[in-house]
Amino acid sequence: MASLDDLKKRISSVKSTQKITKAMKMVAAAKLRRAQENAEKGRPYSEKMNNIILNLSNGISDKENAPKLLAGTGEEKTHLCVVMTSDRGLCGGFNTNIIKKAKQYFQKILKENKILKIITVGSKGYDQLKRQYKNNIVEKISFKDSKNINYFDADKVGKIIIDRFEKKEFDVCAIFYNQFKNVITQIPQEQQIIPLKSNEEKDVNSESSYEFEPEEDEILSNLLPKNISTQIFKAMLENSASEQGSRMSAMDNATRNAGEMVEKLTIQYNRSRQAAITKELIEIISGAESL
Amino acid sequence: MSEEFKVEIVNPEKSFLTKDDATEVVVPAFEGEMGILKDHISIISFLKPGVVKVYSKSDENKYFVEDGIVEFKDNSLSILTSSIYNVSDLDRNKIEQILKDAEKESTEENIDDQKKYLINQKIETLRSLQSN
């Protein structure tokens, strides 16, 4: 059994850990509110963009000559996966959930004998994937230095993807990120961005014909790259809100667990203290009796 | 009948402006300035760098945009842009800075004609803002 001194030390160390997790929870809560606000503010832009593209692509008559970003290359051989994770740890299952989702997809692709290429955004994703898929990772991107999420960063990722697409390095591109639902629920998402797949088939009024200036296809070919950056940006916003939410609940759990542990250790400490006192008393009494 | 329609300007970070009582909006469309009044036909167009003017009965506002898409449908106008500044917030230093960046960009080699055209437009707009 541990001595009294050891127990004392353990209690104080658990207590200081609890202080840290508590502080981290507070910080995450404050950041979460901001991230959530940002995610909500960013939604109109990506929704509008999506709508316009949907309207445009519905209106396009000549599907054969549609831009490749919309229609695809006609093949499905090489898949590019953009796995978006956080740069920091201690956020519960946040990164693991994305990786799990992504790995399922990887295995499906590899089973079909297709070529897999991976871009990781955020260093944690790279750390988790490098062991198994080292040869598949073509690029790793991290925005550790930028304090806030900004469109500029998203645009950079978008440009990298488009560059590679134009060099015909892949046919299909999918991004993986966590969608923020609420503080305890984040849903790992897989979203195909090239060729563009409209997730929900809204009935767009075919009557609402637009006038275009300049021509339709010119607008589309300009808009599609922008849309990719927008989607990446949306994913980044959702991800950051999810990260903070996930960290908050993870740290909340840790704080509670530490509290329980302190309680248990305190009881143990008191018991053994009492046992020691009783032992000493018995020793004194039995010593006096023998006189 | 009222002559007012809805305007919404959004950038990736947030919804920049929403207005229910615009009477006229002038946008720097790709092929020239375009004034939009109520009951305009549905249109989608690009913006080139320039000044968006939003008029309502009570006031008028000007915004400098670098790029964007404009969509008008069912009497609601949406402008999506990645960079927008309120002209009244732009002081000389800020203009100077953007202008300098643009000028640097225009001297770069291997840019295509379209880009060059856009940059020149931007410089021109900024110069005219400066002289005001």
Angle of CA points A130, A131, A132, to nearest 5°:
100
If asked whether residues B74 and B21 sit together in one domain, one would say: yes
The answer to whether the peptide bond before residue A214 is cis (omega within 30 degrees of 0) is yes
Same domain, yes or no: B79 and B98? no
Contacts of A118 (CB under 8 A, 6+ apart): A80, A81, A82, A83, A106, A129, A133, A136, A137, A138
Same domain? B94 vs B118: yes
d(CA A211, CA B72): 10
Output the domain CATH number for residue B32: 2.60.15.10
- pLDDT for the residue A271: 94
Residues B109 and B66 in one domain: no
* Catalytic option among A39, A81, A83, A91: A91
Amino acid A208: pLDDT: 58
Is the pLDDT reported for residue B106 higher than 80?
no
CA–CA distance, A210 with A278 (Å, rounded to integer): 91
- Tell whether B59 and B76 lie within a shared domain: yes
Residue span of the structural domain in which B31 resides = 5-86
B70's CB contacts (< 8 A; 6+ apart) are B27, B29, B43, B44, B45, B46, B47, B77, B78, B79, B80
Residues of A in contact with B13 (CB under 8 A): 38, 41-42, 150-151
Same domain, yes or no, for B14 and B51? yes
Same domain assignment for residues B76 and B23: yes
Pair B39, B72 in one domain: yes
Instruction: List, for residues A248-266, the tens digit of each pLDDT value.
Output: 999 999 999 999 999 999 9
Q: For chain A, which domains are there?
A: 39-250 (3.40.1380.10)
In the A/B pair of chains, how many CB contacts fall below 8 A? 74
Span A163-176, pLDDT tens digits: 898 888 888 899 99
Q: Do residues B96 and B80 share a domain?
A: no
Residues in chain A with pLDDT < 70? 1, 59-66, 197-208
Q: Decide if B47 contacts B69 (C-beta within 8 A).
A: yes
Residues B95 and B33 both lie in one domain: no
Q: Do B30 and A214 touch (CB under 8 A)?
A: yes
Which of A127-136, A267-276, B57-66, B115-124 is most confident? A267-276
CB-CB contact of A247 with A90 (8 Å): yes
Count of domains observed in chain B:
2
B82 and B94 belong to one structural domain: no
Domain final position from B86, B102, B123: B86
> Mutation test of the interface with chain A: which of B13, B17, B40, B78, choosing the one with the most A Cβ atoms within 10 A?
B13
Q: What average pLDDT does the segment B33-60 reach?
A: 87
Q: Where are the alpha helices (DSSP H) in chain A?
A: 4-59, 68-71, 94-111, 123-133, 151-166, 216-289
**Co-location of B64 and B78 in the same domain:** yes
pLDDT at residue A61 in the model: 60
Rounded to whole angstroms, how far apart are CA atoms A137 and A116?
9
* Secondary structure (3-state) at A146: coil
The residue of chain A nearest to residue B45, with distances taken between CA atoms, is A213
Specify the pTM: 0.84
Q: Which tokens is A205 given? A: 């009024």
Q: C-alpha A205: how far from its chain's center?
A: 36
Most A-contacting residue of B30, B69, B81 (CB-CB within 10 A), to test interface: B69
Rounded to an integer, what distance in angstroms lies between the CA atom of residue A136 and that of residue A115?
9
The CA R_g of chain B, rounded to the nearest whole Å, is 15
Nearest to A124 by CA among A155, A161, A96: A96
Element (H, E) at B24: strand B15-29
**How far is it, in rounded angstroms, from Cα A104 to Cα A98?**
10
Q: Residue A153 has which token pair?
A: 């960063």
Contacts of B47 in chain A (CB under 8 A): none
Helix (H, G, I), strand (E, B) or coil at A45: helix
- Cβ burial of A87 (10 Å; 0-12, 13-18, 19+) is middle
Rg (CA), chain A: 28
